[in-house]
Amino acid sequence: MTDLYRLLPEEMEKLVTDMGYPRYRADQILLPLYYKFPKDINDIPQLPKKLREELTEAGYTIGSAKETHRVVSEDGDTTKLLLQLPNDSSVETVLMQYNPTKIGGHPRSTICVSTQIGCAMGCVFCATGQMGFETNLKAEHIVSQVIHFAEILEQRGEHVTNLVFMGMGEPMANYDEMIRAVKILTHDRGFGLGQRHITISTIGIASGIEKLAEENLQIGLAISLHAPNNKLRKELVPTAGPNSVEDIIESGRNYFKKTGRRVTFEYALMEGINDSLEIAEELAKLLHGNGSHVNIIPINPTAGDFKRPSESRVSEFEQILSKSGVNCTVRVEKGTEISAACGQLRTDMID
C-alpha cells in the first residue's frame, strides 16, 4: 500500500503518466489532497472512475490521521491532539495560535509536528526523551499531522501559517523522511507553505545539519544547546559527544554561511542546574559575535524533578546575554497547563 501523501508532485505526475493518463490528472489529485482533505480516492470525483479504480487496485490509498483525543488550553489558543496514524501508531501534535498582527487579520497558526514516536536522545528534562524511542514516522505520517489541523483551521476560515519540527522525536535522526515531508509541504503544487515559515529543531546532530545546509532550502534552524560547556551538556543530554558544544557552534556557523538564515540556539533554563549568573556569563562569552539568536525557555513541568527559575532569575540571565551583545528573547510558552509545551509531549501521558 502506498499513501498518496507520500508522493512529491513530480512523482504523482510520473504515476499518472505511467498509467497512461495525461499529466494534468496529477494536479486533479494534488489539489484536492491539500485543499479539500479527501479521506478516500473515491472522494476525488474529478478523476475518471477508471483511474480511481486503477489507483485503488494498484494499492494506493489516502492515509488520513484519526483524532482520538483532544485537549484545549484555557485561553483556547493551544490545542493538543492525539492522532492515530495510518500505520496504527499514535502521536501527539500541537496547534498554537497567536493574535493577528493587524485588525481583521488571521491569527498566526503554528503546527508543532512530530517526526518520531518517542526519542532516543534521552534528554533528562524532556518527557519525550524519557519515554524512549519507539519508531520513526514516514513522510506521509508527518504530512498527515499538518493536513489534519489544516482541515480544522479551514472550517474556521483560517489556515496554517507556520510549521515547527519541535514535537516528539529528533528530526535529524529521521532525516530522509523529515526532508521528504518538508519538500512536499513547501512545494507549490503540494501544500504550498513558504520555506521561511518552517523551522526544524535539533539536539545538534552535526551530520544532519550539514546535509540540511546543502538542501538549498530557506528553512529556519533551531539547535538545542542548554549548556555552555561539554561537562554540563553531557549531564543534560546523555547522547552528546565529548565536544558537542564546539560541534554545535560550528555547525550553526556553517549553516548560516550556506543559507544566510540566522540560527537560533534553544536554552532550557533549569533552576540550580544551568541558570546561575556565572553560567550566563560563560554562555555570553561563547556566543558573543556569533550572530545567532538565543531562545531562553524556562523549563516546563515534566516527569522529572527540574524546576523553572524565578522570573527575576530568568530576567537576570537574559540581561547578562543582552548586555554582552547576544541577541536573545524569553519564549512565551503556550499550552503548559495541558502538557503541550516544549518538552512535554508524551503519548502515554495524555490527560
Amino acid at position 221, single letter:
L
- Residue 338: alpha-carbon gap to chain centroid: 18
pLDDT of residue 132: 87
d(CA 76, CA 230): 40
Secondary element (H or E) of residue 200: strand 198-202
Catalytically annotated residue among 13, 92, 140, 333:
92
pLDDT at 152: 96
Among residues 112, 119, 126, 342, the one annotated as catalytic is 342
The string of pLDDT tens digits covering residues 13-41 is: 999 999 999 999 999 999 999 999 999 99
Residue 320's pLDDT is 97
All domains of the chain, ordered by start, with CATH? 2-61 (1.10.150.530), 66-338+340-344 (3.20.20.70)
Q: Is the pLDDT of residue 341 over 50?
A: no
SS3 265: strand
Of 4, 2, 253, whose CA–CA distance to 144 is shortest?
A: 4
* Whole-number average pLDDT of the chain: 91
Residues 140-170: tens digit of each pLDDT: 999 999 999 999 999 999 999 999 999 999 9
328 is catalytic: no
Tell me the per-residue pLDDT of 197-249, one tens digit each, with 9 for 90 and over. Answer: 999 999 999 999 999 999 999 999 999 999 999 999 999 999 999 999 999 99
Mark whether 92 is an active-site residue: yes
Q: Is the CB of residue 332 less than 8 Å from the CB of residue 314?
A: no
Q: Which three cell numbers stand for residue 184?
A: 512536499
Burial class for 87, CB neighbours closer than 10 Å (0-12, 13-18, 19+): middle
What would the 3-class secondary structure string for 130-143 be? Answer: HCCEEEECCHHHHH
Handedness of CA 113, 118, 121, 126 (dihedral sign): positive
